[in-house]
Amino acid sequence: MNFRSIEFGSDAYRKECALRDAVLRAPLGRSLYDEELASEKQQKHFGLFDDAGHLVACVIAVPLSPTEAKIRQMAVSMAHQKQGCGRQIIRSLEEHLAGSGHVHLSMHARASAVGFYEKLGYTKVGPEFMEVGIPHFRMEKRLTLYGNEALRSR
Ligand SMILES: CC(C)(COP(=O)(O)OP(=O)(O)OC[C@H]1O[C@@H](n2cnc3c(N)ncnc32)[C@H](O)[C@@H]1OP(=O)(O)O)[C@@H](O)C(=O)NCCC(=O)NCCS
């Protein structure tokens, strides 16, 4: 599997949108394409690609300050879930963000995915809230040199 950035508007970005629509929106009876996507030009898009070059997972990072970033739109293709791809793309993203000084990470995690993020060192902060019609929690993680696999391996 290869982790690499995806350019907004590229063919890979169109595949990223198709994956997000299938995994994150269609199961909720919604369409990603009803949303305002133009602001995503300012965001950092990443994909995990298999050896044949097919996109199997994607995630977006939004820098909030020189040290803080928000993670959003994390999706692993249905066929590749529960095989370690989610862990791999988040670890690679953390390593990338730490390299640019973004060590305070946060996200709005679906309640159904909280256990996944807890395994990766994220902590729930504050009460449950609703987003896209389903329960979410804010989760946070601070990357540290000695507490994070991604940083130790740099
Ligand atoms: C949630 C999701 C991102 C996890 O990715 P994944 O590739 O399936 O997860 P991994 O195989 O890397 O799992 C890593 C660990 O987390 C666990 N895990 C995976 N999904 C989990 C979940 N929903 N709840 C609790 N634990 C979970 C795995 O069992 C594994 O644990 P282990 O190391 O003890 O074996 C993925 O399943 C997905 O895209 N789901 C649908 C969309 C979604 O919910 N996105 C997140 C929005 S916030």
Whether the model clears a pTM of 0.75, i.e. scores above it, the answer is yes
Average pLDDT of the chain, as a whole number: 95
CATH, residue 13: 3.40.630.30
Whether the CB-CB separation of 3 and 47 falls below 8 Å is answered with yes
What residue owns the CA closest to ligand 1's atom 44?
Answer: 113
Model pLDDT, residue 144: 81
Question: What count of other Cβ atoms lies within 10 Å of the Cβ of residue 88?
Answer: 16
Give the whole-angstrom CA distance, residue 141 versus residue 60: 16
Give residue 86 CA to ligand 1 midpoint distance, Å. 6
What is the per-residue pLDDT across 2-36, written as a single tens digit (0 to 9) for each? 999 999 999 999 999 999 999 999 999 999 999 99
Top mutation candidate among 46, 94, 116, 139 for ligand 1, by most atoms within 8 Å of CB: 116
Pocket of ligand 1 (CB under 6 A): 23-24, 74-76, 81-87, 109-110, 112-113, 115-116, 119
Q: Phi/psi of residue 70, each to 5°?
A: -105, 135
Arithmetic mean of pLDDT, 87-115: 97
Residue type, 117: Y
What is the per-residue pLDDT across 70-83, written as a single tens digit (0 to 9) for each? 999 999 999 999 99
Give the whole-angstrom CA distance, residue 152 versus residue 21: 34
Owning domain of residue 54: 2-152
Number of domains in the chain: 1
Give residue 134 CA to ligand 1 midpoint distance, Å. 17
What residue owns the CA closest to ligand 1's atom 36?
Answer: 76
**Conformation bin of residue 53: beta by default, left when phi > 0, alpha when psi is -120 to 50:** left
What residue owns the CA closest to ligand 1's atom 33?
Answer: 119
What secondary structure does DSSP assign to 79-95, as a single string?
A: GGTTTTHHHHHHHHHHH
Model pLDDT, residue 110: 98
Model pLDDT, residue 147: 53
Percent of the chain clearing pLDDT 70 (strictly above): 94
Q: Which atom of ligand 1 is nearest to the CA of 136?
A: 48
Give the whole-angstrom CA distance, residue 127 versus residue 114: 13
